[in-house]
A and B are shown apart, each in its own frame.
Chain A
């Protein structure tokens, strides 16, 4: 799995002296999975698949599942590009949870959280994550862990959790069961192996291999901004692990020759307006520094700068400390000047001006808001501001 959090939890478990967790090296006794594989009905693996199939059935109808066709089509197409002959065995689901996470269950169900999509700047970065997950699948890492841990119910619970997603506010406080399950998920060796295999798969498919380290650099920067390392200081910092991962991926990418036929970059077109709804979910979590780091990076890299500037304005307006109002106003203004401004950015400028008693400036922007969004459902309220009442 790709989650930074669970990865560090695994390390914590290691420090805590859990002997079972890291005894198996990469590619241990199990053969790689074959295309079209089904487990022997009498095996423990079949029992796990049965549980996971039930989880998958329930979640197929879940309201948390994002059903928009363009992004689902893209993810499905990418899985096929990356997995080749294994494509029919893998079923990706996009889940609305504002956190960086993806998993691939042993029965071929892949879950991708919306917070991960928000943090991918390109199709290659998303391919890096999907390649990593497919790597775990091909190497049957979950089954190796299961054989080591014998925690069938925890396993099923873990993947259930991956699909349902926790509440936004819950992400920092995973329940005890799930924490246990994620601790016993993958060893560092498995992660390293999935990283290497994932990079090979995505580079073979024509994606830019440098993207693998880039996505982890984003996460490292967000962790640092959010003070995540301090949180774990008493035990260990997560950063050496991430840094090591980045170095390994950089080295592997350097060894790849340039792609003969570069893959397309369709991510931003496929996400479309979804990206802004993911930004809205992100700011609703109530993290400030981490979200500011993310939005600032999106603005800097030109990933929907109109949306990112507007939501950065919202982030500061909501916090409302000294100086925040001016920063919010500046971001709304900048958003208005982009090629694709959200209508709400004009309303944002109007709101701050109105608060300050700058009535005529506020009205100018409320009028612009109505011009951009003539059918806005808050039109009556806006017209009240304009009426001079």
Chain B
């Protein structure tokens, strides 16, 4: 139906990849780093993203975009140019579509803009971010901001994101949940996970 699958659809489509329990304690992300979680989560990889949830992805979800390289999109599914028909491209008939890509020289504002533009595509709803401020991720100077949107299911959701660019790669962790209940319920748990992030392999 579309190239760009919504996060919700993506999660349904990924149904063949069952969730796996992550017990409280230390969690390694191969090559990227590790976190410490005070509670159990359910884990499932989608595309290049690690996703965690407690009650289901529509209720609350924690997402880890780790090591996004210069020129890449936040998820592979967001790279529209990769879906262009090479024959048409060769004939110069390139569709009028441009992906939102991370660039290593981006300022914090630009990364927040990349995030909201990408999330607006994923959720198929206008995503609004606010409160950009300096913050640490894994001991590196980075940023954090809040975001909100009303999804296609007409449910209002809130989220926060913490990130940093380290060795020209973007690391971004965010947590989102229903504004009415789930966001607040596990926000502190999510904050502790994000605060515990340690980059792999010290310099």
* Across-interface contacts of A381 in B (CB, < 8 A): 108-109, 132-134, 143
| A167, A225, A290 interface centre (most CB from chain B within 10 Å) | A167
CA distance A318 to B143 in the complex (A): 20
Q: Which of B94, B96, B124 contacts A168 (CB 8 A)?
A: B124
- Smallest CB gap from A226: residue in B: B96
Query: Is A23 in the interface zone, CB < 8 Å from B?
Result: no
- Which B83-98 residues have a C-beta within 8 angstroms of A? 93-98
* Across-interface contacts of B6 in A (CB, < 8 A): 167
CA distance A318 to B121 in the complex (A): 15
What's the least CB distance linking A266 to chain B, in Å?
A: 26
Number of A interface residues, CB 8 Å?
37
Q: Contact flags (1/0) for A289-313 with B, using CB distance below 8 Å?
A: 1100000000000000000000000
Query: Is A100 in the interface zone, CB < 8 Å from B?
Result: no
CA distance A320 to B1 in the complex (A): 29
CA distance A62 to B153 in the complex (A): 10
* Across-interface contacts of A281 in B (CB, < 8 A): 126
Q: Which of B124, B133, B134 contacts A167 (CB 8 A)?
A: B124
Q: Which candidate, A204-212, A241-249, A334-342, A347-355, is the interface stretch facing chain B?
A: A347-355
Query: Is A322 in the interface zone, CB < 8 Å from B?
Result: no
Query: Is B202 in the interface zone, CB < 8 Å from A?
Result: no
Q: Is the CB of A168 within 8 A of B107?
A: no
CA distance A380 to B130 in the complex (A): 12
- Smallest CB gap from B98: residue in A: A288
* Across-interface contacts of B131 in A (CB, < 8 A): 377-378
- Smallest CB gap from B133: residue in A: A380
- Smallest CB gap from A376: residue in B: B132
- Which A190-213 residues have a C-beta within 8 angstroms of B? none
* Across-interface contacts of B143 in A (CB, < 8 A): 381
CA distance A317 to B113 in the complex (A): 11
Q: Is the CB of B93 within 8 A of A169?
A: no
Q: Which of B95, B98, B133, B156 contacts A319 (CB 8 A)?
A: B98
Query: Is A16 in the interface zone, CB < 8 Å from B?
Result: no
Q: Is the CB of A173 within 8 A of B1?
A: yes
* Across-interface contacts of B108 in A (CB, < 8 A): 381
What's the least CB distance linking B31 to chain A, in Å?
A: 26
* Across-interface contacts of A62 in B (CB, < 8 A): 154
Q: Is the CB of A287 within 8 A of B97?
A: yes
Query: Is A139 in the interface zone, CB < 8 Å from B?
Result: no
Q: Is the CB of B93 within 8 A of A230?
A: yes
Q: Is the CB of B101 within 8 A of A351?
A: no
Query: Is A333 in the interface zone, CB < 8 Å from B?
Result: no
* Across-interface contacts of B1 in A (CB, < 8 A): 173, 175
Query: Is B35 in the interface zone, CB < 8 Å from A?
Result: no
Interface SS majority for chain B: loop
What's the least CB distance linking B192 to chain A, in Å?
A: 22
What's the least CB distance linking A241 to chain B, in Å?
A: 20
- Which B131-183 residues have a C-beta within 8 angstroms of A? 131-134, 143, 150, 152, 154, 156
Query: Is A363 in the interface zone, CB < 8 Å from B?
Result: no
Query: Is A170 in the interface zone, CB < 8 Å from B?
Result: yes
CA distance A355 to B109 in the complex (A): 11
Known: A347-B109, A355-B107. A286 touches B154 (CB 8 A): no
* Across-interface contacts of A63 in B (CB, < 8 A): 150, 154, 156
Query: Is A96 in the interface zone, CB < 8 Å from B?
Result: yes
Q: Is the CB of A96 within 8 A of B126?
A: yes
Query: Is B117 in the interface zone, CB < 8 Å from A?
Result: yes
* Across-interface contacts of B126 in A (CB, < 8 A): 96, 280-281, 284
What's the least CB distance linking B152 to chain A, in Å?
A: 7
Known: A167-B152, A173-B1, A230-B93. A286 touches B100 (CB 8 A): yes
Q: Contact flags (1/0) for B50-94 with A, using CB distance below 8 Å?
A: 000000000000000000000000000000100000000000011
CA distance A225 to B132 in the complex (A): 36
CA distance A319 to B117 in the complex (A): 12
Q: Is the CB of A289 within 8 A of B134?
A: no
- Smallest CB gap from A62: residue in B: B154
Q: Is the CB of A318 within 8 A of B124?
A: no
Q: Which of A168, A318, A347, A351 contacts B100 (CB 8 A)?
A: A318
With contacts A63-B154, A355-B106, A377-B130 known, what are 6 further pairs, Cβ within 8 A? A167-B152, A168-B121, A169-B2, A169-B121, A288-B98, A380-B132
Pick 18 A–B contacts, CB within 8 A, sort by A.
A62-B154, A167-B6, A168-B120, A168-B124, A169-B4, A286-B80, A287-B97, A288-B98, A317-B110, A351-B109, A354-B107, A355-B107, A377-B130, A377-B132, A378-B131, A380-B132, A381-B108, A381-B132
**Interface set of B (CB-CB < 8 Å, partner A):** 1-4, 6, 80, 93-101, 103, 105-110, 113-114, 116-117, 120-121, 124-126, 130-134, 143, 150, 152, 154, 156
Name the 10 nearest CB pairs between A and B, nearest first: A167-B124, A378-B132, A380-B133, A226-B96, A63-B150, A288-B98, A289-B96, A169-B4, A381-B132, A284-B120
